[in-house]
């Protein structure tokens, strides 16, 4: 006998509360057990699969390595790097861009002091970067790239960096925190249905609602392949929501494109 989830047609998504950096969503009713199933899957995708942008390398004028100091700057290079890792970006256009910081002291340097090209915007412009004393100077170039998840410098060892370029660990995910819980909810006389309560906090580069939609689209896209519906609407929806799919999934099974049969030439009529 086929297993049908007829009750899921009643499912609703409600946004109960919204904050500056997050929101709470309620999904109900779900068939018994599906609250935990959906919650775990969505949480993993939210934290590791959504595209974002981060600084991957920097070059500081007069500095050869990260264990250095800059004359006239209170923070050493390690502290500056830790601050730069916290910068969050709205990123459109090309996959790699360069932002420039050119300041003189005395000055407290923040994210707002960076010069950004078209298509790159710093979300947390008030973030403290460094403090310069009188006659201090800081000239810094940072490479901003688009990516997914967390990429450490160890994973980019094969990339040969020029002398003076410092590679950084990059956390691309725009989602900062995800919590969920399941509760019982009533459908008619039945009280064993699930209610899924999701709390999502982002870095401000995308909204929590967009993050949830992108995660659901990625899951639907992958499950549609297992269901044998590679040309489903879910695939096109995921592609429109998410700019680019993970390039590292080379091991994923690929569907063969069916080639139409060549039309056979009509047979010639026999002569009488």
CB pairs under 8 A, 24+ apart, for 59-67? Answer: 59/140, 59/141, 59/142, 59/164, 59/165, 59/166, 60/138, 60/139, 60/140, 60/164, 60/166, 61/137, 61/138, 61/139, 61/140, 63/164, 63/166, 64/163, 64/164, 65/166, 66/166
**If you average pLDDT over every residue of the chain, what do you get?**
83
Read off the pLDDT of each residue in 2-7 and give the average, rounded to a whole number: 50
Helices vs strands, H then E, count in the chain: 4, 14
| pTM of the predicted model as reported, rounded to 2 decimal places | 0.75
The pair of structure tokens assigned to 151 is 């990429």
Ranges in the chain annotated CATH 3.30.1360.10: 7-50+174-241
Q: Which two tokens stand for residue 87?
A: 């910068």
Domain 7-50+174-241 fold is Gyrase A; domain 2 (3.30.1360)
> What is the pLDDT averaged over residues 129-148?
95
8 pLDDT more than 80: no
The answer on pLDDT for 40 being more than 90 is: yes
- Residue range(s) occupied by CATH 2.170.120.12 in the chain: 52-171
Alpha carbon distance 117, 48 (integer Å): 27
| Residue predicted with more confidence, 157 or 128 | 128
Average pLDDT over residues 39-55: 95
The first and second tokens of residue 143, run together, are 């490479």
pLDDT of residue 10: 61
Instruction: Quote the CA–CA distance of 35 and 258 in Å, as a whole number.
Output: 38
Quickly state the pLDDT bin for 182 (edges 50, 70, 90).
very high
Pick the CATH number of 52-171 from 3.90.1150.10, 2.120.10.30, 1.10.287.70, 2.170.120.12: 2.170.120.12
Q: What is the three-class DSSP state of 157?
A: coil
């Amino acid at each position: 006998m086929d297993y049908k989830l007829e009750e899921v047609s009643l499912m609703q998504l409600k946004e109960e509360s919204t904050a500056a950096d997050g929101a709470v969503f309620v999904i109900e009713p779900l068939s018994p057990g599906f609250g935990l199933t959906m919650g775990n899957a969505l949480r993993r995708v939210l934290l590791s699969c959504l595209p974002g942008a981060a600084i991957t390398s920097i070059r500081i004028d007069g500095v050869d390595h990260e264990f250095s100091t800059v004359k006239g700057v209170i923070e050493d290079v390690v502290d500056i790097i830790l601050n730069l890792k916290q910068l969050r970006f709205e990123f459109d256009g090309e996959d790699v861009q360069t932002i420039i910081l050119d300041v003189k002291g005395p000055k407290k340097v923040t994210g707002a002091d960076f010069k950004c090209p078209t298509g790159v915007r710093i979300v947390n412009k008030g973030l403290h970067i460094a403090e310069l004393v009188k006659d201090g100077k800081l000239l810094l170039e940072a490479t901003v790239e688009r990516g997914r998840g967390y990429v450490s410098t160890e994973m980019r060892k094969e990339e040969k960096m020029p002398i003076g370029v410092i590679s950084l660990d990059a956390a691309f995910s725009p989602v900062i925190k995800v919590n969920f819980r399941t509760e019982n909810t009533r459908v008619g006389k039945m009280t064993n249905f699930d209610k899924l309560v999701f709390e999502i906090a982002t870095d401000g580069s995308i909204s929590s609602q967009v993050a949830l939609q992108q995660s659901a689209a990625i899951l639907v896209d992958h499950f549609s392949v297992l269901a044998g519906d590679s040309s489903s609407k879910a695939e096109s929806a995921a592609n429109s929501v998410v700019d680019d799919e993970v390039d590292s999934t080379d091991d994923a099974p690929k569907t063969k494109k069916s080639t139409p049969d060549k039309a056979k030439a009509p047979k010639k009529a026999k002569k009488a």
